[in-house]
Amino acid sequence: MGIYDDVSRVTTEAELREVLPTPPQPVWDKDIARIDEHARTIIGYSPFFLLATSAPDGTCDVSPRGDPPGSVLVLDEHTLAIPDRPGNKRLDNFRNILGNPHVGLLFVVPGMNATLRVNGNAAIVKDGPFFDRMAVKGKRPHLAVLVEVTELYMHCAKAFLRSGLWKPETWPDRKDLPSDGQIAKDHMNTKIPAKVIGAALAMEAKLNQY
């Protein structure tokens, strides 16, 4: 691996524990493995979460999901229903779930530094009695993901405190970052002007949300 040949690699859990000792029992006890009233409240207020999946061969994918708060339904204390919205149709997460149902979710609430972590087993469904409840602007989702919760616990605030994510004064100036159109142009190695691509991306994102 070239310049990384001289690094000191960790290859076993025993080696990990030499650096990071086993945490105290309360750290393990916070996993309640069910959706209690506090988790239900956080999920209900969360407009954004990350969905992590992995294929049978171990390759992974993480997808951002955003919707009006309350769009992820708590069907019972062990089951979530997640509506699918229009996207790029690559189906990375869905193809992974078909081969490996294990998923991880991280729910974020704006202004809240702690996050809610949920792990479980997922299934893809194309209809159900709850689909009407997931409609936005009169449009029902074509598909949804059911998640049977096997682990659920709060993740501490340190990551958000260290990053200052909710502090606008720490945000970069958007003009210092490449435009969506320029990134797409360079990644696709196309001669289409970045402004044209950017305008098309912005229009698609605006008109094809639901």
Q: How high is the pLDDT of residue 59?
A: 96
58-83: pLDDT as tens digits? 999 999 999 999 999 999 999 999 99
User: For residue range 161-182, what is the model confidence (pLDDT) as tens digits?
Assistant: 999 999 999 999 999 999 999 9
- Say which DSSP state 168 is in: G
pLDDT at 94: 97
Does domain 2-163 sit in CATH 3.90.1300.10?
Answer: no
- Tokens 């990350």 map to which residue? 50
CB-CB contact of 49 with 103 (8 Å): no
User: Which pLDDT score is estimated for 6?
Assistant: 83
CA nearest to 83, candidates 121, 130, 36: 130
Task: Give the whole-angstrom CA distance, residue 206 versus residue 178.
Answer: 20
Residues (pLDDT < 70) of the chain are 1-2
Three-class secondary structure of residue 143 per DSSP: coil
Chain-centroid distance, C-alpha 205: 19
CA pair distance 76, 1, nearest whole angstrom: 48
What pLDDT was estimated at residue 4?
A: 77
**Domain segments of the chain as ranges:** 2-163, 172-207
pTM of the model: 0.93
- Residues 129 and 146: beta-carbon distance below 8 Å: no
